[in-house]
Structure formats: C-alpha cells, structure tokens
Structure 1
Amino acid sequence: MTEKRWIDQGSYDKLQAELKFLTEEKRPEIVRKIDEARQDGDLKENGAYHAARDEQAMNETRIQQLEELLKNCEVGEVPEDDGVVAPGMVVKAKVGPRQMEFLLGLREANDDIALEVYSPEAPLGKALLGAKEGDTVDYATPSGKTLKVKIESVKPYQG
C-alpha cells in the first residue's frame, strides 16, 4: 500500500492544472500530429510520425505520474508550529558539516519554490521524522556513511 504524502493546497492545484492541460489540450494535439504524419505515407521512414509517437509516450507517462501523485497525496493545512519534524515543515539543520534548510514534502509539487524539498520517504526525511528542534539524529546516507544531523529549527511552511 502506498503511503499518503503531504502536499499544500497551492501545489495540489498546480499539479491538477498540469494534469488537465496534458489530458485536455496536449493529448488531442499529439493525436492530431500523429494523424497528420500518418497521411504522409510510409511510417518506417516518417520522422514526424516517430517524433509524435515519442511525444505521446512522454505525455502519457507524465499523466500517469500525476494521477499517481494526486491519488496518493494528502492535501493538508500548514502543520502546527510545535517544533516537530513532519511533512509540511521547513527544517534548518546542520547535516554533517553542511548547513541546510529544506521543506519536508512532495518534491514533484514544489519545483517553483526557493527551498530544496525532501520527501518524507527519502532517507533524510525518514531519519528526521518525529525529531524535535534541538535533537541530534543519525542519518545513513545512500553511500553508506552515517552523518549527525543537528536540528536547529522547525517551522511550518508558509508558501
């Protein structure tokens, strides 16, 4: 069973709008391109036909991704300002020697914000979930190293 992921209303609306554009505008446009290219004759040597089919495959893949994201997200209000790391919170932390500030949330939905976004399912997100301001936790990096993470502040995301 896929776990629900937190997403703010603005990001949810943005993903819904992208899905609507891809299904209602882009999909019919690609079908039209394929039909026009088919009329040009031999499909084996028809570059426009193959390009349109490739575009169709990429569009359908993105539609499936968006449908899955939207089906498995939980639209939420900004979490309570209680200093606990949870989806929807902006975390300032010292990760090993590096100072970081990031949003714990749905990465795909937040490509236009200035903060880095980490998924709660990512190794760093999993390590920090439930920790509090002032805590130090161990984070096992994907390369196998273990880093200490000192959580300096945890505040609700104000998109």
Structure 2
Amino acid sequence: MSRVPLTVRGAERLRAELKRLKTEERPRIVAAIAAARAHGDLRENAEYHAAKEQQGLVEARVRDIESKLSNAQIVDVTQLTPGSRVVFGATVRLVALDDGAEACYRIVGEDEADIKNGLLSIGSPIARALVARQVGDTVEVTTPSGQRSYEITDVEYI
C-alpha cells in the first residue's frame, strides 16, 4: 500500500479521535448493549440492534483511522527548506487573474481537507496545479466551474 501524506496537525487529530473512540465511545456502547440485553428477547429489541449497529460503525472507524495512521507519511512542513516553492503542507496565497479575488489555502492530506477553513486536499485540481510552482508563477486550473487562472503571491511554511 502506498504512503499517504499527512500533516503533523492532521496526524494529531486522527490520534485524538482514535483515543476518544477507544476510551469513550467503546465503553459507552458496551454499556448500552448490556442494558439492552437486560431487557430480554433480543430479536425484537430495537435498543439492542441500534447499539450493535453503532458498535459496528465505531469499530469500522477505528480500523480506518488505524490503517490511515499506519500508512501515513507525516510531513512536518516547518522542517522543510523548499525556498519559495509550493510543497505539501505549505500555505499559499493566490490572486485570481480574472476578478482579482484573493484566496489563501494550506495544502493538506485527503482526510484533513476542509475548504471552508482554507484546507485544500493534495488531490484537488488547484493543489495539483500549485505543487512545485513558485511565488510569481501563474497557474491554469480546470475546476468544475471552468478554467481559472491564478498568480501565486506568497508561500509560507507554518
């Protein structure tokens, strides 16, 4: 299986979620299953079936997070010296050439992406166009809304 890039913050968030699932959610669900079993006949016990379904979802998420962390290549962008190039983990400021709109994105892993908070997935069209470019470069990006042109105005490694 190939290594998946993940920022230090992203890895910390996944570890925190994993810890919460194992230490809080699992015991709560086990208690709910035990309480539902105490009610008797399990064939028609909706509480029991709901708790078992929730247990399955939590266990699937635990396996998913453990798999992602075991296959992660954790990148600490503060330890890189890429100059003014855009790399994974970099924060990039852009200006749209057609309307002058400014945007700021941090290029992160697939699981960390949150466009509303400026976290752009490494697999997105914009991020793929930006990687390996430098301050002052113009990039053409094919987006769902059509072709867009951006100029890279700043790159930070924070």
Q: TM-score range by the shorter chain?
A: 0.7 to 0.9
Structure 1 residues 146, 5: CA separation in 2 closer, same or farther (over 3 Å shift)? same
Relative to the length of structure 1, the TM-score reads 0.80
SS state at 1:52 partner: helix
Counterpart for residue 4 of structure 1: 4
Query: Following the alignment from structure 2 to structure 1, what is the Cα–Cα distance between the partners of residues 125 and 24?
Result: 37
Q: Deviations over 1:64-112 (max 9, x none)?
A: 332233123222322325111111100001245432101111253477x
Query: Following the alignment from structure 1 to structure 2, what is the Cα–Cα distance between the partners of residues 22 and 58?
Result: 11
Counterpart for residue 47 of structure 2: 48
Counterpart for residue 59 of structure 2: 60
Query: Following the alignment from structure 1 to structure 2, what is the Cα–Cα distance between the partners of residues 99 and 24?
Result: 43
The 5-angstrom pairing of residues 119-158 of structure 1 reads 119-141=121-143, 143=144, 145-157=146-158
Query: Following the alignment from structure 1 to structure 2, what is the Cα–Cα distance between the partners of residues 140 and 2?
Result: 27
RMSD: 2.5
Q: Is the Cα–Cα contact under 8 Å of residues 90 and 156 in structure 1 kept in the other structure? A: yes
Counterpart for residue 86 of structure 1: 87
Structure 1 residues 144, 100: CA separation in 2 closer, same or farther (over 3 Å shift)? closer
Q: Is the Cα–Cα contact under 8 Å of residues 103 and 115 in structure 1 kept in the other structure? A: no
Question: Could you tell which deviates more after superposition, 131-140 or 18-27?
Answer: 18-27
Counterpart code for 1:102: Y
Structure 1 residues 71, 124: CA separation in 2 closer, same or farther (over 3 Å shift)? farther
Structure 1 residues 102, 22: CA separation in 2 closer, same or farther (over 3 Å shift)? same
Q: Count the aligned residue pairs.
A: 153
Question: In the alignment, does 2:11 pair up with 1:16?
Answer: no
Query: Following the alignment from structure 2 to structure 1, what is the Cα–Cα distance between the partners of residues 130 and 6?
Result: 15
Relative to the length of structure 2, the TM-score reads 0.80
Query: Following the alignment from structure 1 to structure 2, what is the Cα–Cα distance between the partners of residues 3 and 123?
Result: 20
SS state at 1:108 partner: coil
Counterpart code for 2:59: E
Q: Is the Cα–Cα contact under 8 Å of residues 11 and 110 in structure 1 kept in the other structure? A: no
SS state at 1:88 partner: coil
Query: Following the alignment from structure 1 to structure 2, what is the Cα–Cα distance between the partners of residues 100 and 117?
Result: 11
Q: Is the Cα–Cα contact under 8 Å of residues 127 and 138 in structure 1 kept in the other structure? A: yes
